[in-house]
Amino acid sequence: MNDIMTIEEVAEYLRVSERTVYDWVQKGEIPGGKIGTSWRFKRSEIENWVNRKLTPRLSADIEDFSNSLKSVLSPESVIKIISDNKWDALEEMSELIIHAGGLKYKDELMNALRRREELMSTGIGWGIAVPHVRLESVKSPVMALGVSNDGLSDYESLDGLPVQYVIMIAAGKYQHAEYIKLLSMVSARMKNEDIKHKLLNADEEEMYKIFSGGTDS
C-alpha cells in the first residue's frame, strides 16, 4: 500500500469532499505538504490524525453525553458479546444497529464496516473499539454497546491488545457533525478506567446505566 496519498485519496479515506480536505490542509488542520503545485499526504500521518480525533480530551461533559445518548442508544441495544472473534462479534452488534435504525439491508452495513476496517482498524487501543460508518439509508445516528468479558484477540487494535468494549455507531451519509461528536464523546467516556471495570462486572441493564452516566457518583 502506497504511503503517499493525494487529496482525492484522503477525501475517499475520510469520506469527505476534496474541497473539505483542501480547506483543512490550507489552514493547517490536517498534516500534509506540497510537492510542486500538488498536495501530498503521508498515510501514517493521516491515520495518526484520525486516531487523535477519535481519542480527544478525557473531560467530556457527562451531562452533555447523557443527553446526546438518549437519542441514539436504547437499553435494548446493549449486550454482553458471546462471540470470541471480531467479525462474529460485529455481526452481533450489527443486528442491534439494524433493529434500532430500522435498516433494511444487513449486507449494506456489514460491507461498510468491512471497508472501514480495511482502511484502518477501529480498535483504538485500551481494549476499546469504535466501529463506525455513515450510510445513506440511515436517517438519524444510532449506537450499540457490547462488552466481551473474554476479549476479542483478533481485532488488530492499534496497541495490539484484545478488545473488550465495542461501541458501534451508524449515521447518515451527511450527518458529519453529529457523527464526529458521538465518536469523540464515546472515546473520551470509555477511557475512564472505573467505567470500564464496572461494565465488565455488570449485567446488560446495569451496563446501560453505567455507560450513560446513570450510576456515576
Report pLDDT digits (tens) over 178-194.
Answer: 778 788 778 778 878 89
Neighbour count for residue 203 (Cβ, 10 Å): 9
Using DSSP's 3-state secondary structure scheme, residue 118 falls into: helix
C-alpha cell at 11: 477525501
Q: How many Å apart are CA 78 and CA 154, to the nearest integer? A: 22
Q: How many Å apart are CA 171 and CA 138, to the nearest integer? A: 6
Residue 3 phi/psi, 5-degree rounding, is: -80, -15
Residue found by looking up cell 465518536 in the block: 183
pLDDT digits (tens, 9 = 90+) for 101-159: 878 788 999 999 999 898 888 998 889 999 999 888 888 889 999 999 999 999 998 88
Side chain identity at residue 110, one-letter code: M
Mean pLDDT, the chain, rounded, equals 85
Answer yes or no: is pLDDT of 58 > 50.
no
Task: Name all domains of the chain by residue range, CATH numbers in brackets.
Answer: 4-54 (1.10.1660.10), 62-212 (3.40.930.10)
- Strands 132-135 and 142-152, bridge-based pairing: unpaired
